[in-house]
Amino acid sequence: MEVVQIVGIGLVATILIVLLRQSNRSDFALLVSVVTGLIIFAMVIDKVKYIVDTLSNLSRNANIEFTYFTTILKIIGIAYIVEFGAQISRDAGEEAIASKIELGGKVLIMVLAMPILLALMDLIIKILP
């Protein structure tokens, strides 16, 4: 089971990071954290591709406009990337930078979501008398 491998890698990395921080090697601890995140991401990238393909097929079958679908996928991607970056900053002890990364991600998500929100507002206005 892949979940056991992912959790195992995460636990081994966590123990290694704790040991590195206790020996005042926090620079290596951060490196282990980043590499662990990349390894786990590489392990699940095939699953992400499967999800995107399945959602793409569903959107085609439901006759959902493709631009809306791609926008939603971009928003989901931004959310995951921002979370990953913010967690790395937190691991490095930089809470302020992590907050700025999250703020930037939220603004970008709102910018991408604006066309969908405008289309929704147009639909609501058309429905109401």
Query: What pTM does this model have?
Result: 0.73
35-65 per-position pLDDT tens digit = 998 899 899 988 988 988 888 888 888 887 7
97-115 per-position pLDDT tens digit = 999 999 999 999 999 999 8
77-103 per-position pLDDT tens digit = 999 899 989 988 888 888 999 999 999
The pLDDT value given to residue 66: 78
Q: At what angle do helices 95-127 and 66-91 cross, to 10 degrees?
A: 160
The one-character DSSP state at 1 is: -
> Length of the chain, please?
129
pLDDT above 80 (res 129): no
Sign of CA dihedral 89, 90, 95, 101: positive
- Tell me which amino acid residue 20 is: L
**110 exposed, middle or buried (CB, 10 Å; 0-12, 13-18, 19+)?**
exposed
